[in-house]
Amino acid sequence: MTRYFTDEHEWIEVEGSSATVGITDYAQSQLGDIVFAEVPAVGAKLTKGGDAAVVESVKAASDVYAPVSGTVTEGNDALADDPALVNSDPEGAGWFFKLELDDVSELDGLMDAAAYKAFVDGL
């Protein structure tokens, strides 16, 4: 399994042509207390860079973008009852959705963990 990161602060963990997507620890720390998360429906077609999910903190709503194009295979239902999972375990139990990738070559432009850390340190 390989984990990639976007400059919009999503992570995507890929195994073959399947992947799990969430937001990074940095993203959740910037958003603050998460009170609502809306995940895409199973079967939804996502386009790289397009809207995929919504996360709302006390003060604002933010979009979560699709790191790559693909078809949603599962949404994290646990977030409906406990959106604070995104704060407590953003890169684990607070995942947003799983998808089947259209084109694994879209991963090429994403950052690895070291590159993402350098990116965040530079913000």
Partner 1 sequence: MTDDTQMLELPLGEWHRAKGARMVSFAGYAMPIQYDGIMAEHLWTRENAGLFDVSHMGQLQLKGPDVAAKLERLVPGDISALKAGKMRYSLLLGEDGGVLDDLMITNTGHHLYVVVNGAVKHQDIAYLRANLPADIEVVHDDSAALLALQGPKAAGALARIGIDPAQDGWPVPTDLYFMEAGPFLWRGVPLGISRSGYTGEDGFEISVPAEHAEALADALCAQPEVKPIGLGARDSLRLEAGLPLYGHDMDPSTDPVEGNAAFAISKRRREERRFNGADRILKALAEGPVRKLVGFSVEGKMPVRESAPIYAGEMQIGVVTSGGFAPSVGAPIAMGYVAASHNGIGTRLEAEVRGKRVPLIIAAMPFIPHNYHRRGATK
Exposed, middle or buried by CB within 10 Å (0-12, 13-18, 19+), for 29?
A: exposed
| 44 binds partner 1, rule: CB under 8 A | no
What is d(CA 68, CA 51) in angstroms, rounded to the nearest whole number? 11
| 112 binds partner 1, rule: CB under 8 A | no
Q: In Å, how far are 34, 39, 123 from 13, measured between CA atoms?
A: 22, 17, 23
| 106 binds partner 1, rule: CB under 8 A | no
**Least distance between partner 1 and beta carbon 27 (Å):** 13
Q: Which stretch binds partner 1 (CB under 8 A): 1-9, 41-49, 59-67, 106-114?
A: 59-67
Contact 14, 121 (CB under 8 A): no
Which is nearer to partner 1, 32 or 50 (by Cβ)?
Answer: 32
| 35 binds partner 1, rule: CB under 8 A | yes
